[in-house]
Each structure stands twice: as structure tokens, then as C-alpha cells.
Amino acid sequence: MTINKTTGSVFLVEDETMIRMMVVDMLEELGFSVAAETGEINEALMLAGTTEFDVAILDVNVNGKVISPVADVLKARNRPFIFATGYGTQGVPEGYRDRPALQKPFQIESLKQALATTLRGAA
């Protein structure tokens, strides 16, 4: 069920530990490696500026804080990213509504499609 053998690495920001573990499992099943993961906004900011990865998946609301500062860092680095939100497209930060968003809870097929589309657009 891999996208292709050059699937790459993912930077994951998700504050719910069980959801983060489930997404890591899905990513690995799809052939991706996880370059970095965190559930903390300050750590996410640091990692966003220093970690090498192919694509990021960002929870929109991390412990009550909006993910926009992390998205800003990734945009400045020209790194592709996908939002994960339980709030629909209205939950995606203003100015980033043109970015792909996965509606939580999502299945592996939705994740696979979002990653493929995002990575194709970044190529």
C-alpha cells in the first residue's frame, strides 16, 4: 500500500498521544518515515525550523494554541504541509485555507491521498 518507494519523511505535530501514535502507524504502513513528532507548540516551532523532512502534518489546535506560527516557519522554508482538523475547513488558520486539510478522524486512504497530492504539488 505504498505510494512509491521515494515516499519520504514526515514531520508530525499532534497533541493527542493516541492519535499521534495512530498516524505514525499509518505513515509507516504507507512507507513513510517520521522525521520528528511532537504534541507541544514550542517544540514544534523549534523542530519546524531545524528538521529535514519532505512533508509535515499539522494539527490545527495544539493544546488550545493555533498552529499558525509553525505553519509560518514551514511556509518560509518552502516545506509542504497538510493540516489535520476536527473543525472542518473553517478550523484551518486564515491565510492557509488554500492548503490541504484532513478532516479528523481520517482513514489511511484519506491520508495517502492527501500526502500524494501534496508531494506531487511540491515536486
Q: What is the 3 state secondary structure string of 30-86?
A: CCCEEEEEECCHHHHHHHHHHCCCCEEEEECEECCEECHHHHHHHHHCCCCEEEEEC
What cell does 74 get? 514551514
Going along the chain from its start, the domains and CATH numbers come out as 9-120 (3.40.50.2300)
Record the pTM: 0.93
Q: What is the pLDDT of residues 65-121, one digit of tens each?
A: 999 999 999 999 999 999 999 888 788 998 999 999 999 999 999 999 999 999 988
Neighbours of 43 (CB within 10 A): 15
Amino acid present at 30: L
